[in-house]
Amino acid sequence: MNRIAFNELQKAVYTIVQAGFDLMGTGLKLYDEVPDELDLPYCDLGDMECERDSTKTGGVGRLMITFNVWSRAKGKKEASDIINRILAIVSREQTIDLEGGFTCYASHLERAAIVTEQFEEGKLRHGVLQYVWIVMDSQAA
């Protein structure tokens, strides 16, 4: 791999997930950079990771995006429902043509969790969804 499709994948995933939220009528917003003042619940694009896909040759990578879901609701239901909405949206898009000559040709759930975090303002439910896309670089030698 000579280059990584972080920006290209994030742009496509953001567009797909936000369009899905809008179609579902959830009122949810997906953020890359979270504003200082924001109502809950919300979702943000968290950490991104890349590993070379050792089972493939050339420019194939395994890119993972972490979605963070934040909820103040009691219990874990709201965070769980939002995670499931994101999963439904991203799992529909198995093949995605990205800008810059990259193509996602497979994807899968890596990990999901909901944890309770204590802050000065009180408890928040933090949902974490890690999703992987297998990305090929058509420009790789």
Q: What is the CATH number of the domain that holds 95?
A: 3.30.2000.30
Task: Give the pLDDT score at 58.
Answer: 65
Taking a C-beta distance cutoff of 8 angstroms, is the pair 107, 34 a contact?
A: no
Residue 96 belongs to a domain = yes
Element (H, E) at 18: helix 6-24
Cα separation, 14 vs 127, in Å, equals: 17
pLDDT tens, 48-99? Answer: 999 987 565 667 899 999 999 999 999 999 999 999 999 999 999 778 889 9
Task: Give the pLDDT score at 41.
Answer: 94
Residue 1 belongs to a domain = no
Which of 28-32, 40-44, 59-63, 67-71 has the least mean pLDDT?
59-63
Residue 115 belongs to a domain = yes
The pLDDT confidence band at residue 38, using thresholds 50, 70 and 90, is confident
Cα separation, 109 vs 38, in Å, equals: 28
Residue 118 belongs to a domain = yes
Measure Cα distances from 9 to 13, 45, 59 in Å: 6, 11, 15
Phi, psi of 127 (to 5 degrees): -90, 140
Q: Which domain holds residue 42?
A: 6-137
Domains identified in the chain, total number: 1
